[in-house]
Amino acid sequence: MKALRKVGIGALLAGALLTEDASAGSWAKVTSQHDSRDFSTLTLTGGASGLPFGTSMFGFIESETQKTNRDNLKKPYGELNLKKKTQNGLGVIAEYNGDFSSGGVNRFGLVFEPRLPLFLGAKFYPLSNKNNGVQIGIYGSKYFNKGNEYIEGFMDYNFKPRRFVGEAQFGKRIKNNLYGATELRYNGFKPRNFGIAAGLELKL
C-alpha cells in the first residue's frame, strides 16, 4: 500500500507540474538555491487550474543536499493540494505532505482566494490524520515591472506541534524565463530555524 500511495502521489504531482494542456492554465518552475545554513536545495513547483469538476492543483517537491556531500540529495519532501472554489474564492481543499519515506500527512479544510490585484490566499485545515492537529496558512505573490520582478511567499502555523514555517522570496529576471532568486526562510522544525538562500529560478 505504501508503494501504491507513493506512485499515486507522484503521478498526481507529475500531472500538475508537467501537463501541457493550455486550457488547464498549467505552470511550472525549477529553483536551485544555496542556504546560509550550509546546504543547497533543488525545488520543482507547479500547478494547474481548469481541471475536471472545476478543481485546481498546486504542488512542489524539494530535496536538500547533505552538508558534507553536495552530490548526495536527501529524500525529497513534497506537498500536493487539490481545491475547488466558488466564484467568490471560498472553497474546500485537501492536501498531502510528507517526505515519501515514512508516510505523509493528509489534511482537509477550507481555502479562500479572493479576487485582488495580487494573488493572495488563506487555508485552514481543522482535520488531519496521524493526530497532527490544526494548521493555518497564508500565501501570495505579486509581479512588478511587466513581470521583471516579483515577490512571493507563504506562512504556515502548526498547532501540534506548535511550529511556524515561512518563506519570502524576491526574484528578478536575468534573461527570458531565467530569474535570480533570494529567499528568507524560517523553519521551526529545523535546529537552526532561520536562513537566507540565493540562487536561480527557471520558469518553464
Chain segment 62-73, per-residue pLDDT in tens: 999 876 676 677
Cα 151 from Cα 172, distance rounded (Å): 9
The stretch 81-98 carries a mean pLDDT of: 95
Contacts with 32 (C-beta within 8 Å, 6 or more apart), sequence order = 40, 41, 42, 43, 199, 200, 201
Contacts with 36 (C-beta within 8 Å, 6 or more apart), sequence order = 195, 196, 197
Q: Is the pLDDT of residue 141 over 70?
A: yes
pLDDT of residue 74: 75
pTM: 0.83
Give, in degrees to the nearest 5, the angle at Cα 44 between 190 and 28.
Answer: 140
Q: Is the pLDDT of residue 20 over 60?
A: no
- CA distances to 15, 70, 176 from 186, rounded to whole Å, are 29, 22, 30
Pairing mode of beta strands 77-85, 69-73: unpaired
User: Minimum mean pLDDT among 14-28, 36-50, 122-136: which range?
Assistant: 14-28
Cis status, amide bond into 76, omega within 30 of 0: no
Residue 29 burial (CB count, 10 A): 19
